[in-house]
C-alpha cells in the first residue's frame, strides 16, 4: 500500500540569513511564547554572532566578546590560572581552553555540561564558601578573574540595579583579594550604572582600567566590560 504524500508543516527555506544577509527570518508566534520570548528567539535566529557560535561549536555567542577582549589585551596563554564567574553555558571557558589555558575553574548558579579540563562548581558566587572552594580547585592564586555574571532581572529598576552592582562589587573584591601581581580582571558592567565607585577602587589596585564595548555585545544593550590590567598586588 502506498502512503499518501506527507503534508509540509513549514515552508522550505528560500534564502539564508546567516551573516545578516537576506531577509530576516520571522517566526510564527507560538501560543506558548510571550512576545518578549518571541522577539528574543527571532533576534537569536537573525544574529550573525549566534550563527557563527553555532558553526564553530561555541556554547554561546558570548565567546566572541571575550575573544575580542583577548585580542586586544592578550590575557590568555598556556600556564595562566583563570577563574570564570558566571560561566554558564561555558563560551568564555571554551575560548580560554582553546587559547591553551589548562588551569581554569568556573562557577554558576546553573548546571553546566563538563568542559574538561575546567573544574566547574554549581553554586552562588556570593555564598561565602564559594571563593575558598574556587581557589582550592584552581590549586593556587589566579592570573585572570573573569566575571560575566548577570542576575535575573525582576523588572524593578532600582532592585535590578542594586543586584547588578552587588555582583560587580563582589567580583572586584574577590579579584583584588586573590589575583597574582600583574593579574587581569574582566567584568560585565552596564553603561549608566553607578560603577564610578568600583572603578575608583580598581584604579587604586590596577595599572590600567578601561571600559570596553566589544562588537559582539549588542549595540542596543547597555552592557560594557571593565578590563583592569596590571594588578599591583596587595
Binding residues (CB under 6 A) for ligand SAM: these are: 59-60, 62-63, 86-92, 107-110, 124-126, 148-151, 167
Q: Each residue of 180-189: b (16+ CB within 10 Å) or e?
A: eeebbbbbbb
CA distances to 30, 33, 41 from 36, rounded to whole Å, are 12, 8, 9
Residues annotated as catalytic are 188
Distance CA 115, CA 134 (A): 16
Q: Nearest to residue 148, comparing CAs of 54, 47, 71, 224?
A: 224
Kindly state the smallest distance separating residue 42's Cβ from ligand SAM, in Å.
20
Task: Using the minimum distance from each CB to ligand SAM, give the nearer residue, 82 or 167.
Answer: 167
The C-alpha cell of 29 is what? 508566534
Task: Using the minimum distance from each CB to ligand SAM, give the nearer residue, 103 or 148.
Answer: 148
Prior bond of 19 cis (ω within 30°): no
**DSSP state at residue 73:** H
Kindly state the smallest distance separating residue 167's Cβ from ligand SAM, in Å.
6
Q: Which stretches of 6-62 are DSSP H helices?
A: 35-45, 48-56
Prior bond of 117 cis (ω within 30°): yes
Kindly state the smallest distance separating residue 24's Cβ from ligand SAM, in Å.
24
Kindly state the smallest distance separating residue 64's Cβ from ligand SAM, in Å.
9
Task: Using the minimum distance from each CB to ligand SAM, give the nearer residue, 127 or 208.
Answer: 127
Q: Which residue has the cell 562588537?
A: 215
Kindly state the smallest distance separating residue 68's Cβ from ligand SAM, in Å.
13
Phi-psi bin for 174: left (phi > 0), alpha (psi -120 to 50), beta? alpha
Amino acid at each position: 500500500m502506498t502512503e499518501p504524500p506527507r503534508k509540509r508543516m513549514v515552508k522550505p527555506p528560500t534564502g539564508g540569513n546567516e551573516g545578516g544577509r537576506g531577509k530576516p527570518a520571522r517566526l510564527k508566534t507560538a501560543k506558548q511564547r510571550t512576545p518578549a520570548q518571541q522577539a528574543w528567539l527571532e533576534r537569536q535566529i537573525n544574529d550573525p554572532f549566534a550563527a557563527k557560535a553555532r558553526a564553530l561549536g561555541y556554547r554561546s555567542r558570548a565567546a566572541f566578546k571575550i575573544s575580542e577582549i583577548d585580542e586586544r589585551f592578550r590575557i590568555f596563554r598556556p600556564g595562566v590560572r583563570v577563574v570564570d564567574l558566571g560561566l554558564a553555558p561555558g563560551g568564555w571557558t571554551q575560548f580560554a581552553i582553546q587559547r591553551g589555558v589548562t588551569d581554569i575553574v568556573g562557577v554558576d548558579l546553573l548546571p553546566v555540561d563538563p568542559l574538561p579540563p575546567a573544574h566547574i562548581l554549581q553554586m552562588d558566587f556570593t555564598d561565602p564558601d564559594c571563593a575558598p572552594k574556587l581557589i582550592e580547585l584552581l590549586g593556587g592564586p589566579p592570573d585572570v578573574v573573569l566575571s560575566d555574571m548577570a542576575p535575573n532581572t525582576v523588572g524593578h529598576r532600582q532592585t535590578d540595579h542594586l543586584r547588578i552592582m552587588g555582583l560587580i562589587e563582589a567580583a572586584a573584591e574577590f579579584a583584588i583579594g586573590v589575583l597574582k601581581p600583574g593579574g587581569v580582571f574582566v567584568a560585565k558592567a552596564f553603561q549608566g550604572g553607578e560603577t564610578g565607585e568600583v572603578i575608583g577602587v580598581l584604579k587604586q589596585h590596577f595599572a590600567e582600567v578601561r571600559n570596553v564595548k566589544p562588537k559582539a555585545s549588542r549595540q542596543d544593550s547597555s552592557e560594557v566590560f571593565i578590563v583592569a590590567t596590571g594588578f599591583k598586588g596587595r
